[in-house]
Structure 1
Amino acid sequence: MKNKKLITLGFASVTVALALLFSTNLFASVADKKEKSKEASRLEALAKFTKVISIVEQYNVDNVTIEELMNKALEGMMNNLDAHSNYLTQKDYKNLKVQTNGEFGGLGITVGVKDGALTVIAPIEGTPADKAGIKAGDIILKINEKSTLNMTIDEAVSIMRGKVGTKIELTIVREGETKPLAISITRGIITIESVYAKSVGTDIQYIRVTSFDKKVVTDVAKAIKEKKATTKGIVLDLRNNPGGLLDQAVGLVDIFVDSGDIVSQKGRNKADDESYSAKSSNTITKVPLVVLVNGGSASASEIVSGALQDHKRGIVVGQNTFGKGSVQVVLPITDEEAIKLTVARYYLPSGRTIQAVGVKPDIEVFPGEVKSTKNEFALKEADLKKHLVEELEKVDGEQGAQLPEPDSKLVISNEMISKDLQLKTAIDILKALIITKGE
């Protein structure tokens, strides 16, 4: 009986093994068929592409070389992937390298495609475009009478750049205007100063970051350390900042946040997934913080404002940001040409995405001047007869020495604040935070 049982079990085991082997072979066969089908589909698609190229080259009314056709095909393919992927010709690739170095000739605006239209993300502060009155959100209809319909970002940038001192005309549509505006701009050398630091009173520091170039973290850290002894609160102004280098955005958040995630990126390939976290060793200050943003705040600016908001490290004031939350990489295909490809999306510490949504401010404030009304009939103590005279401190029988006037380049004046409602709101909130904290 025992032998029979063993034989039965042995037979069952062999049956199971054969079944598993059959299943494995079946799955392998199915997978192999799928792979072969996929490869056949690829070859068929490539054959169709080659055939079309050959037909166009042979029968097109104009004589077009195979190189020109391939370039047009690459441009069309990359432009149809998304608004930020594109093929970089030799000229485009060279311009990109020049711009990365921080100095170039042109107008000084960052543009993107929004709702199918060529849109100004932000003018760079102090540049010809900024001085001419170009604003974030302006839609560019024409560049020198050339329509921007179906124009790529790189083509638009290429046209707007040119010889320093030459003029260019942009026809724009602006919200609130009843008809298009024609704005003439003289091209100039664009040198980007990315960080400006000023004082508001004696205990508030105003730091404006106009773009995220390779020196942002160093310059902001230096500015904070110089005023650290007297600073009780900071206004971080990221309005009209179109973005830039990711590592600088991460580093800027790290100055204010000592632990936790800052941003993560996730793509189709796991190799493109990455997460960036704060380190306590990089934190410089923990004073109250207010962040200013608007529709011209994009990409790296949205990472900074969104991360600080998620960590409840700062109060975000202003308007909803641009909504660019995708990651592009430049991949060379030759020594002189490359493609810019979207490979991932950004995600803030809470897990939310920026893409097409942006960062919603904690307190929404529209741009404008501070309006104040003065009651001419109101009386104060100083208007009354025989009011007590203010006692002044005396130093050796004389009135205290007058403090020297501060450098206007280093101070935000009351006049500047009165013309900027968003900044005024940020300062008022910061003062309340300082009082609440008991500084």
Structure 2
Amino acid sequence: MRRTQLALLLALTLATGFVAGALLAPSSPAHARTEAYTQLGVFSEVLAHVQRSYVHDVDETALMRGAVRGLVGELDAHSAYLDPDAYRALQDDNRNAYVGVGIEIQPGEFGVVIGQVFRGGPAHGAGLQPGDIIHRVDGEEVRDASLPEIVQRLRGERGTAVSLQVERDTGEHTELLPFDLVRDVVERQIVHASMPVDGFGHIRLVGFRQRTSEQLRDAIAGLERDAGGSLRGLVLDLRGNTGGLLRESIRVADLFLDDGEIVSTRGRHQAPGDQWRARRTNTAYRAPLVVLVDDRSASASEIVAGALQDHGRAVIMGQQTYGKGSVQSLFDLGDGSGLKLTVSLYYTPRGRSIQQHGISPDILVEAGEVEPVARTSRESRNQRSLANPDGDPPPPDSASLDAVTDRPLRSALEQLHAFDVFQRAQAR
């Protein structure tokens, strides 16, 4: 009797939901609503048969969650139903510390790809690398699992073990590699600032989490102080940054823009959604800027790069970005579970959708290390050379980039230095 009542209650509840949806969207064709009610009736019949006749007792909670998961699974790759544990894991993911293995993942063409490995975490210590494709977690295939479900499997109590099997492309062949990890507290340092060359700063942003924009503002101020109050150029490095919180990406872009649109969204039927604009009072840095991106720069990273590119505020260098141009909203559900639902696409200030296309860099730079340059021959190195009558030359007024072996970073610093030289030449 109780199971029959549950089936009837579920049917009525779902029917009420469909009716409410029809009231909120009266333009929906009547035949579409009729088809939905028909399928709802079939679902209720199947549920009743399972509860009444299945060979074993069933976990009704797991059954209902599986049904909802299947429903949402018919949508895009970024929409997902999250049970209470997975929902908590997703919310924890937006904080700067958690217990896990220290990786960020994203969907890829051949499976779930490690987008980022956090320095000092278990995965980093074991040798996992960005670009590794995860095949199994604790022996179970994950190809058909949602990203939140995989995150949940990777999280757990501190000190507990988890095993991964990943596929790695070595350039010559691919190989399957096993990794045995022990979960630990992962402290994610989101902002990394340095001064690789006097007067020119480098800030690597590895995610968009809570307070990222505040930390970035502090980092810029620190570099300004280190440069004696005159930071002549800055590289904002978004390589490997798979995204995060929309509001933080807006705040980050606002640090570099005085005014104008940062990003806008459009929902179903291309209906105008929200629009966010820069405010002069938020600007933290107005000097020359280069933004580095690669094929793992996604979502929030693309919002920042797209806004700065469209306003001509920065030169974008590196590789074509990932191309995730959709926005997800989180909906709390009554049992502690949650729904992550794609609700709109975002557009750059010039109205470009990034979905599947990504951001094209202004200057394409391949990843890799700078090859050492052979020592060149000069007249001054000739032991029989005549001395210059004016004496020793003054030290060169140029930045030494010899210590920078990261090719994209070196290229970015060269661009900034060339522009700085040109500006000073024009001012003479």
For the aligned pair, the TM-score class normalised by the smaller chain equals 0.7 to 0.9
SS of structure 1 residue aligned to 2:174: coil
- For 1:141-290, what aligned pairs fall within 5 Å after superposition? 141-175=135-169, 176-184=171-179, 185-228=181-224, 229-268=229-268, 273-290=273-290
The answer as to whether partners of 1:122 and 1:297 remain within 8 angstroms in 2 is no
TM-score normalised per structure 2: 0.82
The answer as to whether partners of 1:93 and 1:338 remain within 8 angstroms in 2 is yes
Aligned amino acid, residue 317 of structure 1: M
Q: Which runs of 5 or more structure 2 residues have no equivalent in the other structure?
A: 1-25
2:105 corresponds to which residue?
111
SS of structure 2 residue aligned to 1:262: strand
The answer as to whether partners of 1:109 and 1:122 remain within 8 angstroms in 2 is yes
Q: Distance in 2 between matches of 1:344 and 1:248?
A: 18
Q: Distance in 1 between matches of 2:294 and 2:42?
A: 47
Task: Give aligned pairs, total.
Answer: 387
- For 1:113-128, what aligned pairs fall within 5 Å after superposition? 113-115=107-109, 117-128=111-122
1:137-168 alpha-carbon deviations (Å, 9 max, x no partner): 32212223322231221221122223334443
SS of structure 1 residue aligned to 2:105: strand
Q: Displacement of 1:289 after TM fit?
A: 0.7
SS of structure 2 residue aligned to 1:180: strand
Change (3 A) 1:391 1:315: closer
Q: Displacement of 1:220 after TM fit?
A: 1.6
- For 1:383-402, what aligned pairs fall within 5 Å after superposition? 383-385=382-384, 387=387, 390=392
1:60-107 alpha-carbon deviations (Å, 9 max, x no partner): 344323322111101111122111111111111222233333211111
1:260-307 alpha-carbon deviations (Å, 9 max, x no partner): 111111112888810111112222222111111112211111111111
Say which is worse superposed, 171-180 or 50-59, in terms of deviation: 171-180
Change (3 A) 1:320 1:38: closer
Q: Distance in 2 between matches of 1:154 and 1:382?
A: 62
The answer as to whether partners of 2:142 and 2:150 remain within 8 angstroms in 1 is yes
The answer as to whether partners of 2:205 and 2:237 remain within 8 angstroms in 1 is yes
2:329 corresponds to which residue?
329
Q: Distance in 1 between matches of 2:394 and 2:264?
A: 58
The answer as to whether partners of 1:137 and 1:295 remain within 8 angstroms in 2 is no
The answer as to whether partners of 1:265 and 1:347 remain within 8 angstroms in 2 is yes
Change (3 A) 1:98 1:357: same
Aligned amino acid, residue 346 of structure 2: Y
2:18 corresponds to which residue?
none
2:80 corresponds to which residue?
86
Q: Distance in 2 between matches of 1:267 and 1:171?
A: 38
Q: Displacement of 1:324 after TM fit?
A: 1.3
Q: Distance in 1 between matches of 2:277 and 2:27?
A: 44
The answer as to whether partners of 2:105 and 2:147 remain within 8 angstroms in 1 is yes
The answer as to whether partners of 1:107 and 1:188 remain within 8 angstroms in 2 is yes
Q: Displacement of 1:177 after TM fit?
A: 4.9
Q: Distance in 2 between matches of 1:281 and 1:77?
A: 45
The answer as to whether partners of 1:202 and 1:230 remain within 8 angstroms in 2 is no
Q: Displacement of 1:238 after TM fit?
A: 0.8
1:27-72 alpha-carbon deviations (Å, 9 max, x no partner): xxxxx99866554433322111111122233333443233221111
* Candidates 403, 417, 421, aligned match of 1:431: 417
SS of structure 2 residue aligned to 1:174: strand
Q: Distance in 2 between matches of 1:108 and 1:217?
A: 22
* Candidates 45, 60, 63, aligned match of 2:54: 60
Change (3 A) 1:252 1:35: closer
The answer as to whether partners of 1:57 and 1:65 remain within 8 angstroms in 2 is no
Q: Displacement of 1:186 after TM fit?
A: 3.6
Change (3 A) 1:413 1:190: farther
Say which is worse superposed, 181-190 or 290-299, in terms of deviation: 181-190
2:4 corresponds to which residue?
none
Aligned amino acid, residue 323 of structure 2: G
